Amino acid sequence: MGATTHTRATIDCDVLPRFTAAYLRVAGDECAFIEAHTAHALPRLLAELSKHGRRPQDVRWIVVTHAHLDHAAGAGGLLAACPNATLLAHPRAAANLIDPAKLVASATRVYGEARFAELYGTIVPAPAERVRALEDGETFDVGGARLSVHHSAGHAKHHFVVHDPALSTVYTGDAFGLVYPALQHAGRFAIASTSPIDFDAAEARRSLDLILGLGAEHACLTHFDAVDDLTVVAGQVRAWIDRSEAWMQECLASEAPFDVQAKRVEGQIREVLSRTALTSKDLELLAVDIELNAQGVAVAAERSRKK
């Protein structure tokens, strides 16, 4: 019997090219998906599985790093398509995947029903008996490879990263920032994700240290793909976390209403970006992230004020 073959493949899930990724992890006859994106991505995920000569029945695990909809909205649908799979999630995320009603209601209030359907499709609840919540440090096996999860708050309280020593890889979700390929034309460009509602600068820095401390050669980001210069990326993301913390402190010191605070932070983000090599087209690509990051900083200030 030959040695088990271990591979991973990046799956481009989003309407925007190279914007949101999922990963197919193949180990011999067993497979795992890491991230599920939305219902719209299901054909792409299954096509990648077929491309590797595997069937939905071969999928043992579906892993989501956290419950934000661009990572996990499609998890229930993917689980239904893969009859032998178990869904793995952070304990705080697992409950929302079993009963996504609150996630759906919250996002529908923001986007409206038509836009919500366009963005995320149908969110299928995951049967509780097919969901396993993983505590910090717990492991799972794929074809003889042992992977571990490490809770990594800062972006979201319900976030973990997945360490895959067999491939010297860590799947980082949003804890290692955003590194869109389209923005790398003038050298490495990485930015933190401080979107609502759980931005915590101290925890975000701890998560960076955790990821670097795993000693992996490759970090596989959901936004987007594998990076090998982990120290460089971490340094840039840390700088954005530090800036965001300073902006949050300014919000705390101000009595201005939330909308005014968020708009001010958005302007501060854009002012920093104006000193980079990004073009106006690049800033269009980042527009949603800039707005969400600013809102997340303002939300963090409001939550801190209420403690």
Please write the tens of the pLDDT for every residue from 131-151: 999 999 999 999 999 999 999
Of 39-48, 50-59, 96-105, 195-204, where does mean pLDDT reach its minimum? 96-105
Is pLDDT of 110 > 90?
Answer: no
Q: How many domains does the chain have?
A: 2
Structural domain includes residue 13: yes
Same-domain check for residues 105 and 213: yes
From 229, 263, 288, the end of a domain falls on 229
pLDDT of residue 279: 96
Provide the mean pLDDT of the chain.
Answer: 96
> How much is the average pLDDT of 75-81?
98
Structural domain includes residue 195: yes
pLDDT of residue 1: 42
- Do the strands 59-63 and 21-27 form a parallel or antiparallel pair, or are they unpaired? unpaired
User: How far lies 49's CA from each of 77, 89, 123, 224, 291, in Å?
Assistant: 15, 21, 21, 19, 35
Structural domain includes residue 1: no
Q: In terms of residue numbers, what domain contains 132? A: 6-229
Residue type, 84: N
Please write the tens of the pLDDT for every residue from 155-204: 999 999 999 999 999 999 999 999 999 999 999 999 999 999 999 999 99
Contacts of 97 (CB under 8 A, 6+ apart): 64, 67, 72, 75, 76, 87, 89, 125, 126, 131
Q: How far apart are CA 212 and CA 161, in angstroms?
A: 12
Say which CATH number the domain at 50 has: 3.60.15.10
Same-domain check for residues 218 and 286: no
Q: How far apart are CA 170 and CA 173, in angstroms?
A: 9
Share above pLDDT 70 across residues of the chain, in percent, rounded to a whole number: 99
